[in-house]
Amino acid sequence: MQEAFFSFISQFGYFAVAGLILFENVFPPIPSELILPLSGFLATQTAMTLPGVIIAATVGSVVGAYFLYGIGRLLSQERLEGFFDTKPMRMLGFHSDDVAKAIGWFDRKGQTTVLVCRCIPVVRSLISIPAGTAKMNMVRFAIYTLVGSLAWNAILCTLGFWAGGAWEQITAQAEWVSSVVKVVIIVVAVAVVAWWIKFRILPARAEQKRRNAEGK
C-alpha cells in the first residue's frame, strides 16, 4: 500500500493528496497516518509545496466529511424513531425518545465535538454522521470541519516534511496513537454494552414477560 500511495501522489500531486484524504474520510480504514506524512515528505521531492499539500488534504477532508454528513441527513430523526419503535429494538432496550434525547444533546453540547474529533484518529470521520442526523448548520459544520482538519493535516504533513527520509517514523508514531485510540474505543464500547444489557435489555425483557403473562 505504501508503494502504491508513493507512486500515486508522485504522479498526480495535489489531486492525489486531496482524493486519498477524501476517500480516507469516507472509508476510515484508509490510513491518513500514512498519507499525510508521506505527502509532506514528497513536498521535498516533487514540485509540490508544503502549504499546497496541506490545503489539498484539507479540501479532501471537508469534501469527504460532507459525504458522511449527507448520510446522516438521510437518517432523519423521524426514520430513526420509527426504527427504534419496532418490537425487536424495544426488546433490545431502545425507545423512540432515545433519538430525540441524543439529538437534543448534540444540539446543546455535541457540535463542538465535530471540531475536537477531527483531530482524533478513527472517530474523526464518523462524527460527521451524527452531525448530519442532528441537522447541524451546514456552514458551522464546514467551519468546524475545516479548522479541525486543517490542524490535523498541518501537523502530520509538517512532521513528514521536516522528517525527510525518516517520515516513516512519523507514520509509525501516528499509527501507534491510532491503535491506542482504537483500544480505548473498544473498552468503552464493552462497558456501554454491559451497562445497556443490565439497565435496558434485562428490564425490557422482564417487562415483556410481565405483559405476556397478563395477556394470558
pLDDT surpassing 90 at residue 39:
yes
CA–CA separation, 203 and 156 (whole Å): 47
Mean pLDDT: which of 17-31, 57-71, 199-213 is highest?
57-71
Q: What is the band of 4 on the pLDDT scale with cuts at 50, 70, 90?
A: confident
Share of the chain above pLDDT 70, in %: 80
How many CB atoms are closer than 10 A to CB 196? 14
Range in 73-87, 118-132, 172-186 the model is least confident about: 172-186
109 pLDDT band (50/70/90 cuts)? Answer: low
pLDDT of residue 212: 72
Give percent helix, percent strand, percent coil of the chain, each to the nearest 5.
85, 0, 15
Reported as a single tens digit per residue, the pLDDT across 40-91 is: 999 999 999 999 999 999 999 999 999 989 988 888 777 777 776 777 767 6
Task: Name the grid cell of 132.
Answer: 448530519
Mean pLDDT of 79-107: 71
Strand (E) or helix (H) holding 120:
none
Contacts of 52 (CB under 8 A, 6+ apart): 14, 43
Whether 50 contacts 157, CB under 8 Å: yes
Closest CA to 89 of 9, 77, 97, 22: 97
Confidence of residue 18 (pLDDT cuts 50, 70, 90): very high
Is pTM, for the whole model, over 0.85?
no
**Residues of the chain with pLDDT > 90: what percent?**
22
Distance CA 100, CA 124 (A): 23
Burial class (CB in 10 A: 0-12, 13-18, 19+), 170: buried
Give tens-digit pLDDT for 131-169. 888 888 888 889 989 998 999 899 999 999 988 777 777
- The angle at the Cα of 140, spanning 134 to 145, to the nearest 5 degrees, equals 95
